Amino acid sequence: MLYANPSQLDDSDYNMGFTAATPLGTNTAVQGPTASHAPHASAPLLASSPELDPRPAAFGPLFLYKGALPDILFTTADNVSFYAHRQTLQQASTNAFAGLLTGTGQSLNVLESSVVLSIALHVVYALPCLHLSATLDTVEAAADALVKYGVPLQNFAAPNSALYHLVLVQAPYRPIDAYALAAHYGLETLAVAISAHLLAYDLSTITDELAAKMGSMYVKRLFDLHKLRHSALKNIAMRPPAMHRPNLACGTGEQRQLTQAWAFTAAQMAWNALPNPSTHMLQAAFERGGKDITCQECKVMLHRRIVEAMDEWSAVQRTI
């Protein structure tokens, strides 16, 4: 019988740390990861291998959780075993883990792979799992499994939770897919956080299938965010620098050169329809537009307006 060392689980590398486990019914006093001693704990699923690490990994046969040792064993489709606690799973599930926990059996087979089940159990137990290096597809498979097993994802996707971090860490690389996953399961806080990675995304590339997965509400909110930011950028760009007091060297007529240079740059930005220019891009664009300005006072007014524009743009809403 094998048990998994979840810290070594990886989508592309199944070289896991295994150890032999004894048959059900073995009893042994152990030192677990969450308590120094468990002298009175029963251990129906403990291993007796002398090579076993005295600080066992999560879901190994010596996994001590809230003072209790494992009393149930899952075997995955790829024949890896995970030791868990019936009461913990029953409390997390609304359907007795898809009916698996309705009986009294201690050994259960599941259809999920070891990588998927490891993530699912980490989520239920609220254990950190970024070390699993899971792909977004694997995380989604784990989310699907949790739903099948009656675990309400909304209860396990708060900020700083295992599931929250597993999805959010993928947002810079697959933002629209991460957003679709969060939207599909109604994980509001997660969807909001991921939407910040979609400011430069071309929404015209969203397929019907992806839109259906997100749902109309989350699709609309994403489009509304882009529309809001485009409108805000237009309003910022269309306000030119103020004029300084006319003087002998630079009167009202001469100052129109600055206004025209600003307007030309604003028109270019509107034409290019940049969805998410950075503040530095704004600064560079307007500085290029005013490079031919020779009046020092005009340059001061230009710089002042650029700083204002950068501050205004940085304050525009960035999430749904």
SS (H, E, C) 127-161: CCCHHHCCCHHHHHHHHHHHHHCCCCHHHHCCCCC
pLDDT band at 117 (very low <50, low <70, confident <90, very high): very high
Tell me the CATH number at 36.
Answer: 3.30.710
Query: Domain tally for the chain?
Result: 2
Q: Which one of 128, 149, 175 terminates a domain?
A: 128
Amino acid at 184: H
Is the pLDDT assigned to residue 22 strictly greater than 50?
no
**pLDDT, position 274:** 64
* Average pLDDT rounded to a whole number, residues 161-185: 97
Answer whether residue 22 is part of any domain: yes
Does residue 120 sit in the same domain as residue 220? no
Q: Shortest CA distance to 55 belongs to which of 35, 75, 84?
A: 35
For residue 81, the cross-strand partners are 3, 75
Give the neighbor-by-neighbor strand order of the sheet with 72-75. 81-84, 72-75, 107-109
Alpha helices per DSSP H over the chain: 86-92, 114-124, 136-148, 162-168, 175-184, 188-195, 208-214, 216-237, 252-272, 279-289, 296-314
Q: Which one of 103, 128, 153 terminates a domain?
A: 128
C-alpha span between 186 and 216 (Å, rounded): 12
Answer whether residue 141 is part of any domain: no
Answer whether residue 180 is part of any domain: no
What residues make up the domain containing 221? 216-314
Answer whether residue 14 is part of any domain: yes
Answer whether residue 224 is part of any domain: yes
C-alpha span between 95 and 87 (Å, rounded): 13
The pTM of the whole model exceeds 0.85: no
Does residue 16 sit in the same domain as residue 113? yes
Answer whether residue 163 is part of any domain: no
C-alpha span between 35 and 60 (Å, rounded): 15
Answer whether residue 76 is part of any domain: yes
pLDDT band at 273 (very low <50, low <70, confident <90, very high): low
**pLDDT, position 52:** 37
Is the pLDDT assigned to residue 25 strictly greater than 50?
no
**Through-space distance between the first and last CA atoms of the chain, rounded to whole angstroms:** 48
Is the pLDDT assigned to residue 31 strictly greater than 60?
no
Q: Which one of 76, 94, 128 terminates a domain?
A: 128
C-alpha span between 212 and 320 (Å, rounded): 18
Answer whether residue 208 is part of any domain: no
Tens of pLDDT, residues 66-102: 999 999 999 999 999 999 999 999 999 999 999 999 9
Local structure of 45: helix, strand or coil? strand
Count Cβ neighbours within 10 Å for each residue of 87-109 and write b for 16 or more, e otherwise: ebbeebbeeebeebbeeeeeeee
Tokens of 4: 């998994």
Range with the poorest average pLDDT among 128-137, 179-188, 257-266? 128-137
Does residue 124 sit in the same domain as residue 221? no
Average pLDDT score over the chain: 84
Over its C-alpha atoms, the chain yields an Rg (Å, rounded) of: 29
